[in-house]
């Protein structure tokens, strides 16, 4: 019996999303009929309840600003999602909605590709859903990390170049600098960066944020969020299609 299999992305102001094209290319490559991937741009999360009523909805990704709020609408969480406190992938099976976090998988793959032995401690910039997944990975790998956000003890106004110099992995987890606001940049003491630093900016659009450009001018190794995005998308695909609970 042919049935439609619907997937999509829930978020707010997300017309620029990578996911739709990524999955549509995948359907084409695998010659899958009846699959679709839609953008669900929701001003308020409660509007998602109408989507959940669709029996053809197989699952969906979740992005800013709903990665934490979506948890209240789900029936079950994977171990990672529970520990992280954020969900970016939901699978629906017989009406049961299970939340997963594939950001952690994608970030770990990215980190292990670029990390060198001298990269011993990390600064995490931001404390939203993506930052929580990043912290989970550092904890799992035994890498000490310090979170810097507007509301933490060390914040963007009192973060010093000395502190930056002491933490040789810096992960930029905020949306500051995302298209179309490509001139925006976090207030950050770039003077503390050296050629020994690894800078990972989770933004993928644009390829080179102001943050990455400023960091590379100090000689730091810089990486954007594209590989992490691909990896988390592949993991989501696996969850929707193959993983048995």
So which residues are the catalytic ones?
Answer: 67
Angle at 105 between CA 103 and CA 110, to 5 degrees: 90
Tokens of 80: 């990672």
Residue 150 phi/psi, 5-degree rounding, is -65, -30
Burial class (CB in 10 A: 0-12, 13-18, 19+), 165: middle
Structure tokens at 208: 């080179």
Residue 67: both structure tokens together = 């990665």
Which H or E run contains 162?
helix 161-166
Structure tokens at 141: 């790998």
User: DSSP 3-state helix, strand, coil percentages of the chain (rounded to 5)?
Assistant: 35, 20, 45
C-beta separation of 160 from 186 below 8 A: no
Tokens representing residue 145 in the block: 């990390």
Least Cα distance to 60 among 12, 22, 15, 98 occurs for 98
Give me the half-sphere count of Cα atoms (radius 13 Å) on the Cβ side of residue 58: 19
- Residue in this structure with the two tokens 């359907």, named with its chain if needed: 27
For residues 115-141, b (16+ Cβ closer than 10 Å) or e, as one string? beeebeebbbbbbbbbbbbbbbbbeee
């Amino acid at each position: 019996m042919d049935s439609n299999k619907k997937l999509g992305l829930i978020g707010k102001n997300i017309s620029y999303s990578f996911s739709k094209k990524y999955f549509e290319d995948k359907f084409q490559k695998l010659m899958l009929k009846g699959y679709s991937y839609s953008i669900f741009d929701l001003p308020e999360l409660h509007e998602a309840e109408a989507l959940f009523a669709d029996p053809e909805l197989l699952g969906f990704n979740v992005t800013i600003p709903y990665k934490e709020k979506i948890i209240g609408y789900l029936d079950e969480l994977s171990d990672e999602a529970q520990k992280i406190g954020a969900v970016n992938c939901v699978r629906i099976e017989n009406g049961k909605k299970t939340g997963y976090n594939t950001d952690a998988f994608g970030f770990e793959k990215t980190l292990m590709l670029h990390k060198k032995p001298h990269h011993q401690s990390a600064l995490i910039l931001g404390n939203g859903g993506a930052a929580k997944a990043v912290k989970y990975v550092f904890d799992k790998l035994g890498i000490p990390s310090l979170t810097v956000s507007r509301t933490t003890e060390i914040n963007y106004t009192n973060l010093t170049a000395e502190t930056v110099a002491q933490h040789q992995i810096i992960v930029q987890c905020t949306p500051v600098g995302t298209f179309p606001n490509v001139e925006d940049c976090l207030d950050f003491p770039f003077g503390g960066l050296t050629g020994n630093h690894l800078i990972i900016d989770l933004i993928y659009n644009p390829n080179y944020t102001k943050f990455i450009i400023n960091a590379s001018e100090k000689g730091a190794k810089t990486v954007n969020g594209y590989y992490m995005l691909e990896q988390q998308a592949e993991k989501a695909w696996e969850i929707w299609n193959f993983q048995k609970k």
